[in-house]
Amino acid sequence: QEMSMGPEPGNLGGTAIKPVGWDRTGLEAFKYFLYNPDTGEVLTRTPLSWVKITVFYSVYYCCLAAFWIGCLQVFFLTLPEIQDGPKWTMYQSIIGTNPGMGVRPGNSDQRIDSQMFVLSQGEREGEEPSNYWGDGDRNIDYAVRTQHFLESYNREATYPYKNFDISELGPCGEFPYGFVANDDQNYGESVAPCIFLKLNKIWGWVPEPLDDYDTDWIPEDLQDHYNYMRDDGNTQNVWMHCEGRNAADKEALGDIEYFPRSRGLPVEFFPFMGASVSGQNYHSPLVAIKIHPGREFLGQLIHVECRAYFRGVVHDTKNKMGLVQFEVLINE
């Protein structure tokens, strides 16, 4: 008996349909990418599609920019005008009313975080600095950096600020500021560098001078000097006192010369009410100390600490409040 045969089974699944132009290659494919004459597409999009996507992103980025500008304007509303100074000052600020101290000249850019003055005993006048800004480690480089620092004092201070007369600094107001030996000095004489001390600026702060009858807490040397200046009628100052941090440092430092002789920053130079941003010129008062280490102390690292004294000062070594520490090393 013969069995009947049905139709043969067809292929399971669909048949792939290849898109038009699938086999284009090379330059032909690139031309169709730029413009497809069959569909009117430019860079794979029709003109209508390009209009839609352009409108969408234009609106999107305009809204994003408007939101950012709005937030920025709200932030600006919280800021005071430049002439009004910082929003938070004095006791309301993080800085408070106890300024730190700074020393000049600063170190080279390579050693910007160092407070060590490394000098050579034999370097004399006539040496050339490393560059125009004195960004090097030679004695003359320290002198050039000091000269640039003092340039602002050659311009008149802007009212209501007072002018600070550099001539009051004596030999520390004249180039090369003791960093190199003068030509009229004996060859090999140790240099006597001038280190300049200043108070960090605090907006609106006016220091209160020491009380004439409450000076028992200040160093004896400064107390004797204060009594002498009181007899001379000159006590309206922030007083500076420097000494070696250890016994060996004090022995190496010997007698320190102060310029001006008052050893003080006159309170008439305060308060600071802005300068650099508003285009004004402010003369921050200075006290310079001239260090004369003996030849027997050449090559010894001398640790120096200078403190400011006024009513209510707080000296904090850890946070460098009311004082500054630095080192001086004069090599052979």
Chain segment 289-316, per-residue pLDDT in tens: 999 888 888 889 999 999 999 999 999 9
Q: Taking Cα atoms as reference points, which of 241, 209, 221, 203 lies closest to residue 323?
A: 241
Lowest mean pLDDT among 160-174, 179-193, 217-231, 241-255: 179-193
pLDDT at 122: 76
Based on C-alpha coordinates, what's the Rg of the chain? 37
Q: Which secondary structure element, helix H or strand E, spans residue 242, and what is its range?
A: strand 237-244
Reading the block at residue 199, the tokens are: 């108070």
Cis amide linkage into residue 260, ω under 30° from 0: yes
Mean pLDDT of 30-53: 87
> Could you read off the pLDDT of 149-196 as tens digits, one per residue?
999 999 999 888 999 999 999 999 999 999 987 655 444 456 899 999
pLDDT score at 186: 44
- The pLDDT of 122-135, averaged and rounded, is 83
Specify the pTM.
0.77
Q: Is the pLDDT of residue 13 over 70?
A: no
Q: Per-residue pLDDT averaged across 99-106, rounded?
A: 94
pLDDT score at 188: 46
Nearest to 197, CA basis, from 272, 101, 116: 101
Instruction: Determine the pLDDT at residue 24.
Output: 81
What would the mean pLDDT of 113-119 be, rounded to a whole number? 91
pLDDT band at 43 (very low <50, low <70, confident <90, very high): confident
In the predicted structure, residue 263 carries a pLDDT above the cut 90:
yes
Taking residues 14-21, report their average pLDDT.
72
pLDDT in tens, 138-148: 999 999 999 99
What average pLDDT does this structure show over 109-117?
89
d(CA 148, CA 159): 23
Average pLDDT, the chain: 88
Task: Give strand pairing partners of 116.
Answer: 327
Q: What token pair was written down for 37? A: 């004459």
